[in-house]
Structure 1
Amino acid sequence: MSGDARDIMFFRLSPSDYDQSTRLIADHFMRRNPLCRAIGQMDLESYGEQFLVDIKKCLASGVSVGARDRASQTLAGICLNFSPDLDEAHDMSNSDSDMCVVYRVMAMLSAGTRVFQELKVHRVLDLFTLCVHQDYDGRGLGSKLIEKSVEAGVEEGYQVASVHATNSITAKICTRHGFRIVSSLDLTTVADQMGIDTDLIPGDTEVKMLIKELDSENSKPDPQSS
């Protein structure tokens, strides 16, 4: 793994990375994500304008992380992150059916969850979208992007990192990095009302909301990183 790490440069994304980021998401997230396939939303247009707005918000946040192949300059992966308005996120739990299905699922995961109020935090880093180029699978980039995102959150003074994991791979990666599950939803229980074909989701049909409280320990470098 250390050899792979030397081939990859990790950096903070900016608004200038919008075109490359949206292409990566369209080609290597939406076409492969089990939930996107199960609801037939496998292109940017099907998500609606709000998704593009949120991508721009993440890129402007200064805490989104990219991975680039040093030799080819290919954008090998991204973890788009931003700081949500917690009051706005609470209101989303009551959103109507005009939202795209993925957003409705994320809202349902948040519904009734008062973990941020209980922890008395006001600066939350939302790990919004994790995506790795298919050609770079198996190199641990997803895990490294989560690690770098947590480090960025610590450096910028965030108190908690949060993720709505709509696939089992992201949930497993986050769990290995110390995230804990605070909410879960079995998609089979809402499949009919949301038009989700759970037969297209291999394995686990649960989506999860996970959080990690941030402190200085998270900023310690990984012994295996280069």
Structure 2
Amino acid sequence: MAQDSSDIELFMLTSDDYEEVAQLFDEQYAKRNPLCKVCKETSLEDIGESMVKDIKRTLASGLSIGVRDKTTKAIVGFRLTDIFHVDKTSTYHVGEEDEPSIMYQLLARFSPHGKEIQELGISPILELFAVCVHKDYGGRGIAAMIIKKTLELGDEQGCRLAVVQIANSLSEKIYNRLNFQTFKVLDLDTVADEFDLDTSIIPGETILSLMVKNLPSKTSNPHPQ
């Protein structure tokens, strides 16, 4: 349940917000995200150009939401989002063979742009790329608030499925409450040797999940099992 939110406001992010969003990503997302930690990629510089491109891509989509402190005018949260069409999916999003980022290599194992999602035959698809709320504003239901708003926007744009990659248990609980279902998982312990990961630094956070949710549609389509 969201607590008092009178001191914040939601707004639509644009490409002009890149610098501030990138700073928040660096300071609040990458430093706290279990996958970033175990991959030793806790900054935009560590992750590399792929993340820079994806942040810019989602900001340009017209579907990404920002959270602003009304007093300081600072961006204190974001929900980065895009829409993709299965027939137009680029292999770039799945991951290049020479991708230097370990995190991107791992996420490519169950990319929302991958073959298994394509085979569902559902399009267009709402891609929930990344969500972040500054730690000083945590525990107030802000993340759930902006995710719900994103789903509404996706539905308005005709999306029939929402997909998200989850790298921490807190986010998973939020998406479970919003009736997302787990489509595929990857246990980092099973690939620790392959990627030289020390999963002991993220106890209880070693499961990566690809979660999905059907959005309202006039066209009947059963939920993927």
Q: Quick check: 2:61–2:82 contact (8 Å CA) kept in 1?
A: yes
Question: TM-score scaled to structure 1, two decimals?
Answer: 0.87
Structure 1's 93 and 56: CA in aligned 2 closer, same or farther, altered over 3 A? closer
Structure 1's 53 and 95: CA in aligned 2 closer, same or farther, altered over 3 A? closer
Name the residue aligned to 1:39. 39
Structure 1's 181 and 90: CA in aligned 2 closer, same or farther, altered over 3 A? farther
| d(CA) in 2 for partners of 1:72, 1:101 | 36
Q: 1:6, CA displacement in angstroms?
A: 2.3
Q: CA RMSD in A?
A: 2.2
Q: More deviation in 104-113 or 16-25? A: 104-113
Structure 1's 68 and 182: CA in aligned 2 closer, same or farther, altered over 3 A? same
Deviation per residue, 1:79-108 (Å, 9 max, x gap): 101123546466755742534112112111
Q: 1:166, CA displacement in angstroms?
A: 1.5
Q: More deviation in 164-173 or 96-105? A: 96-105
Q: Quick check: 2:3–2:140 contact (8 Å CA) kept in 1?
A: no
Superposed, 1:33-112 pairs within 5 Å as 33-84=33-84, 86=86, 88=89, 93=94, 95-96=96-97, 98-110=99-111
> Structure 1: which 5+ residue stretches go unaligned?
217-226
Structure with bigger helix share is 1
Q: Does 1:154 align with 2:155?
A: yes
> Structure 2: which 5+ residue stretches go unaligned?
218-225
Q: Does 1:5 align with 2:5?
A: yes
Structure 1's 3 and 205: CA in aligned 2 closer, same or farther, altered over 3 A? closer
Q: 1:135, CA displacement in angstroms?
A: 1.0
Over the matched positions of the two proteins, sequence identity in percent amounts to 35
Q: 1:154, CA displacement in angstroms?
A: 1.1
Name the residue aligned to 2:28. 28
Matched residues, number: 216
| d(CA) in 1 for partners of 2:77, 2:108 | 26
Question: TM-score scaled to structure 2, two decimals?
Answer: 0.87
Deviation per residue, 1:122-146 (Å, 9 max, x gap): 2111111111111111111111121
Q: 1:173, CA displacement in angstroms?
A: 1.0
Q: Quick check: 1:34–1:202 contact (8 Å CA) kept in 2?
A: no
Name the residue aligned to 1:196. 197
Letter in 1 for 2:119: Q
| d(CA) in 1 for partners of 2:71, 2:145 | 19
| d(CA) in 1 for partners of 2:94, 2:2 | 42
Q: 1:36, CA displacement in angstroms?
A: 0.9
Q: Secondary structure at the match of 1:20?
A: helix
| d(CA) in 1 for partners of 2:199, 2:118 | 31
Structure 1's 2 and 166: CA in aligned 2 closer, same or farther, altered over 3 A? closer
Q: Quick check: 1:187–1:205 contact (8 Å CA) kept in 2?
A: yes
Superposed, 1:132-211 pairs within 5 Å as 132-211=133-212
Structure 1's 204 and 2: CA in aligned 2 closer, same or farther, altered over 3 A? closer
Q: Quick check: 2:185–2:207 contact (8 Å CA) kept in 1?
A: yes
| d(CA) in 2 for partners of 1:44, 1:115 | 27
